[in-house]
Amino acid sequence: MLILGIETSCDETAAAVLENGTLVRSNVVYSQIATHQRFGGVVPEIASREHLEKIDEVVSAALDQAQVTPDELDGIAVTQGPGLIGSLLVGINYAKGMAFAAQKPIVGVNHIEGHVYSVAFEFPPPEYPALALIVSGGHTNLFLLPEPEKYKLLGRTRDDAAGEAFDKVAKLIGLSYPGGPMIDRLAKRGNKRAIIFPLAEIKDNRLDFSFSGLKTAVLRYVREQQVEPLANAEAPSQQILDLCASFQNAVVRALVRSVRKAAEVHHPKTLILAGGVACNSELRAAIQELAGQLKIPAYIPSPIYTTDNAAMIAAAAFPKLLRGEGAGLDLSADLSLRLQNIDLVPIDPKKKKRYRL
């Protein structure tokens, strides 16, 4: 089965051709980072305009690289939400036009589910139950997957997403957008124990995340210690290096803390880390270490599949198209699109399945 995936939820225009759910025949991504860098973040109107300018070129390149024509496709998958409304509509309308012209089925895909499926290309199918930590600039979610395509939301951010916190702290100390990769690079030369930033305590004992307090603590430190913003990112002071390392370590500790607590309760057989922040070297190492302690595999995709891409969108659509599912040409963007949040009833853990859905 050949599926064309299209992803335009934020500031990457992406298209990919996937064969049988796992073989990436092509994966083309056009990034708008250079466009938005001078604004310090993504400008939605500019993002949608740039998608309009690039989508035909990107889709054509994906089909050419895969040596596939639209008539040879078995289906088209497109991100339906969540994301920026203008950006999403560019991809959806283009996909609907192609589906109508080629008479192919179309499937709308949840962007976050796409990230879960980003492990499909480099790893064998996960063993279930699995825990999936999806961390990006717009989302920080922890899911339990008792079986494929079943999701129980265990924790989510109550304020800033982890990636958003990285970008805001980076801007505070004079680093350009996107800030996460730059903080990660500088943190390698700093002392992560130089500054002990507090972690948010969630009072009702849930596995949610909160990064606004950490961001405020960094702001307070910068003011009290009179930290000068970087004038030259290539020559940072030791104070800046230690600040980056300590802040990054606090984010990673907060994320891993919730994953560890969830693992103690749900006893997963696979640990999944995905989303743009999954590129962070300290987070990758910490999840690998936790998985080693739990004696289970950690599925962490290569950076090209952790950031937004269309191969993961096609992968998430594969089982749906196999079942004959499809959307009509009235498919539209859904900014509040959520993964199905199932109820779990624990059963005898000695049995093959640990939950009844």
- Looking at the DSSP bridge assignments, the partners of residue 109 are 79
Tokens 């009509």 belong to residue:
328
pLDDT interval class at 179 (50, 70, 90): confident
CB atoms within 10 A of CB 341: 11
* pLDDT at residue 194, as a whole number: 95
What is the pLDDT, as a whole number, of residue 136? Answer: 86
Average pLDDT of the residues in 127-156:
94
Q: Which residue has the higher pLDDT, 161 or 128?
A: 128
Which SS3 state, helix, strand or coil, does residue 39 take? helix
SS3 183: helix
pLDDT for 202: 78
Predicted confidence (pLDDT) at residue 201 exceeds the cutoff of 90: no
Q: H helices of 42-161, where? A: 44-66, 85-102, 111-116
Mean pLDDT of the chain, nearest integer: 92
Asked if residue 125 has a cis previous peptide bond (ω within 30° of 0), the answer is no
Task: Pick the range with the lowest mean pLDDT from 160-169, 260-269, 309-318, 337-346.
Answer: 337-346
Burial class of residue 227 in the structure, from the number of CB atoms within 10 Å of its CB (0-12 exposed, 13-18 middle, 19+ buried): middle
Range from 10-14, 173-177, 195-199, 230-234 carrying the lowest mean pLDDT: 230-234
Helix (H, G, I), strand (E, B) or coil at 332: coil
Q: Given this model, what pLDDT does residue 274 score?
A: 96
Among residues 142, 249, 250, which one has the least CA distance to residue 199?
250
pLDDT band at 53 (very low <50, low <70, confident <90, very high): very high
Q: Tell me, what's the pLDDT at 161?
A: 87
Q: Torsions phi, psi of 296, nearest 5?
A: -135, 160
Angle between helices 162-172 and 212-224 (to 10 degrees): 10
pLDDT band at 354 (very low <50, low <70, confident <90, very high): low
Q: What is the dihedral of CA 284, 119, 341, 157, to 10 degrees?
A: 30
Chain-centroid distance of CA 146 in Å reads: 20
What's the pLDDT tens digit per position in 316-341? 999 999 999 989 999 999 988 888 77
- Residue given tokens 């987070």 in the structure block: 283
* 186/230 Cα distance (integer angstroms): 12
Q: Hey, what are 338's tokens?
A: 């959520």
pLDDT tens for each residue of 263-274: 999 999 999 999
- Looking at residue 194, the DSSP 8-state letter turns out to be S
Tell me the torsion sign for CA atoms 185, 188, 189, 195.
positive
Quote the DSSP letter at residue 209.
B
Which pLDDT value is given to residue 204? 73
The answer to whether residue 344 scores a pLDDT higher than 70 is no
How far, in Å, CA of 14 to CA of 30, rounded? 6
CA-to-CA separations, 86 to 15, 25, 32, 315, in angstroms, rounded: 17, 28, 15, 24
Q: What's the pTM value of the predicted model, to 2 decimals?
A: 0.91
Q: Report CA 59 to chain centroid distance, whole Å.
A: 22
Please name each of the domains of the chain with its CATH number.
2-117+305-322 (3.30.420.40), 124-300 (3.30.420.40)
| Interval 226-256: pLDDT, tens | 888 887 767 889 999 999 999 999 999 999 9
Q: Print burial letters for 255-268: b (CB count within 10 Å at least 16), e (below 16).
A: bbebbebbbeebeb
DSSP state of 122: T
Neighbours of 208 (CB within 10 A): 19
